[in-house]
């Protein structure tokens, strides 16, 4: 809360503000950026506010548009949203700002801001901006567009309110945004649209999915498959979500071929995977990890280890499914 007031006071002091976010943008960093810009513009029409980044999103372009790079960062406040480390910031000039504010909900891995407001347990930075508005609603103004951007960011980062990071506060703030006129049905429809080629990719995975004796589901995305569906790295790795609800398969793995290695995405419910990921050059959260293997034999070893882990887990807890 005190950082939140410090952020407000800092915004008041500057007449030129640049908002930046992380590379490979997602709904949260885009939604929070466009919403914060709109809130500042509505509240202080005399301020210049820009959203400036060096890459953009195709699928979420309906949320808003970035501004072109500006000439000078003199007397400029730079606000970086949803980005834990400086190297992920999608604006190479963020450091030229007179003051840098970081607002984030990732584990605080690196300090780069003069002022940092970080809350790990928040579902999203969009939720933090919604709460920022809510805490200062005597001063700040919001409209339907800003509320829609924030609502979109909360939805995408919380898996539409399904992940554990969704708190009573998340839902209260979502309700507050809804009262500002968010048309949720339209928004969900837009957020859920997929390209036809991605649907075909999904169909291929579902058709060819592999299964170990104890129920670990897995799939290997080769370069050939990436080419066939014209997949970017990100699109290829999205495949891990295509088989996340098979009954009896609480562990599922996606392997993605790289130049000199194989990237692994590990997912589970009810079973901790981080130790397994650690054994294969990776790590992460309890139920969502990343790892890297270098040969087909290592890939098979990881699959065998996952199968043994699942066998053991099902023995210890027969309710796992």
Please report whether residue 28 would count as binding Mn ion according to CB under 5 A: yes
Q: Is 13 helix (H, G, I), strand (E, B) or coil?
A: helix
User: What is the dihedral sign for C-alpha 35, 39, 41, 42?
Assistant: positive
Residue closer to Mn ion by CB (options 127, 307) is: 127
* 45-55 CB burial, b ≥16 within 10 A, e <16: eeeebbbbbee
Residue 131's nearest CA partner among 100, 105, 113, 99 is 105
Read out DSSP for 183-214? -HHHHHHHHT---HHHHHHHHHHHHH-EE-TT
Window 122 to 141, contacts with Mn ion (CB under 5 A): 124
Residue with the shortest CB distance to Mn ion: 28
Please report whether residue 82 would count as binding Mn ion according to CB under 5 A: yes
Q: Segment near Mn ion (CB under 5 A), from 24-32, 92-100, 128-136, 289-297?
A: 24-32
Instruction: State how far the Cα of 286 lies from the Cα of 84, in Å rounded to an integer.
Output: 19
How many helices (H) and strands (E) are present in the chain, helices listed first?
11, 11
Q: What is the dihedral of CA 52, 55, 59, 65, to 10 degrees?
A: 20
Residue closer to Mn ion by CB (options 106, 311) is: 106
Q: Is 290 helix (H, G, I), strand (E, B) or coil?
A: strand
Q: Segment near Mn ion (CB under 5 A), from 14-22, 62-70, 81-89, 287-295?
A: 81-89
Residues 162 and 191: beta-carbon distance below 8 Å: no
Q: How many residues bind Mn ion (CB under 5 A)?
A: 4
Please report whether residue 157 would count as binding Mn ion according to CB under 5 A: yes
Structural element, H or E, at residue 79 = strand 76-81
Residue closer to Mn ion by CB (options 118, 240) is: 118
Q: Segment near Mn ion (CB under 5 A), from 88-96, 133-141, 155-163, 231-239?
A: 155-163
Q: Cβ of residue 160: shortest distance to Mn ion, in angstroms?
A: 14
Residue closer to Mn ion by CB (options 82, 235) is: 82
Please report whether residue 104 would count as binding Mn ion according to CB under 5 A: no
Q: Segment near Mn ion (CB under 5 A), from 4-12, 51-59, 157-165, 252-260?
A: 157-165
Instruction: State how far the Cα of 209 lies from the Cα of 277, in Å rounded to an integer.
Output: 21
DSSP-assigned letter for residue 69: P
Please report whether residue 66 would count as binding Mn ion according to CB under 5 A: no
Q: Cβ of residue 280: shortest distance to Mn ion, in angstroms?
A: 26
Q: Cβ of residue 125: shortest distance to Mn ion, in angstroms?
A: 5
Q: Segment near Mn ion (CB under 5 A), from 119-127, 168-176, 209-217, 290-298?
A: 119-127
Given the rule CB under 5 A, which residues bind Mn ion?
Answer: 28, 82, 124, 157
């Amino acid at each position: 809360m005190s950082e939140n007031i410090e952020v407000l006071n800092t915004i008041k002091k500057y007449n030129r503000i640049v908002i930046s976010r992380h590379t490979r943008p997602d709904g949260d960093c885009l939604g929070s950026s466009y919403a914060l810009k709109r809130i500042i513009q509505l509240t202080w029409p005399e301020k210049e506010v820009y959203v400036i980044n060096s890459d953009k999103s195709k699928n979420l372009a309906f949320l808003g548009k970035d501004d072109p790079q500006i000439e000078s960062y003199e007397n400029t406040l730079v606000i970086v949203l949803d980005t834990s480390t400086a190297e992920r910031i999608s604006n190479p000039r963020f450091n030229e700002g007179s003051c840098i504010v970081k607002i984030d909900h990732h584990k605080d891995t690196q300090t780069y801001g003069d002022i940092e407001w970080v809350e790990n347990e928040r579902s999203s930075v969009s939720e933090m901006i919604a709460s920022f508005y809510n805490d200062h609603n005597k001063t700040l103004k919001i409209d339907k567009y800003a509320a829609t951007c924030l609502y979109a960011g909360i939805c995408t980062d919380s898996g539409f309110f399904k992940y554990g990071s969704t708190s009573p506060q998340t839902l209260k703030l979502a309700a507050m945004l809804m009262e500002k006129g968010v048309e949720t049905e339209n928004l969900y429809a837009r957020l859920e649209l997929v390209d036809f080629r991605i649907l075909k990719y999904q169909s291929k995975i579902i058709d060819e999915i592999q299964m170990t004796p104890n129920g670990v589901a897995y799939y290997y995305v080769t370069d050939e498959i990436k080419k066939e569906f014209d997949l970017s790295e990100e699109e290829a790795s999205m495949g891990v979500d295509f088989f996340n609800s098979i009954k009896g398969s609480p562990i599922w793995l996606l392997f993605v071929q790289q130049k000199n290695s194989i990237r692994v995405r590990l997912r589970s419910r009810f079973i901790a995977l981080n130790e397994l990921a650690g054994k294969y050059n990776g790590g992460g959260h309890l139920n969502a990890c990343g790892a890297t293997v270098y040969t087909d034999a290592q890939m098979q070893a990881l699959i065998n280890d996952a199968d043994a882990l699942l066998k053991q887990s099902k023995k210890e807890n027969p309710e796992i499914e």
